[in-house]
Amino acid sequence: QELDEGAVAAAEQAGFEFLLDAGLAAMARGDTLAARDLLRQAADADALRAHAAWGALSWLAETTGYAEEAFRFVEQAVEADPE
């Protein structure tokens, strides 16, 4: 049985969006550990849109006192989407 490429792509997209949204929601409620884990999973789930997750991770790191880690996440966001 062949996989429907469109269905696979839609599932991957939904996975990224779910993880990103869940990570942002965790950030909003102050659950930094869950936010970090979910946003990292989002970045791993979709290389083409990983920059959004890396950017959110950068903000999370900066606001929780991890400036060096925040800078590293910015670098990863730029690497993922240089424009």
80 pLDDT band, cuts 50/70/90, is confident
The 3 state secondary structure assigned to the chain is CCCCHHHHHHHHHHHHHHHHHHHHHHHHCCCHHHHHHHHHHHHHHCCCCHHHHHHHHHHHHHHCCCHHHHHHHHHHHHHHCCC
pLDDT digits (tens, 9 = 90+) for 22-56: 999 999 999 999 999 999 999 999 988 999 999 99
Max CA pair span of the chain: 51
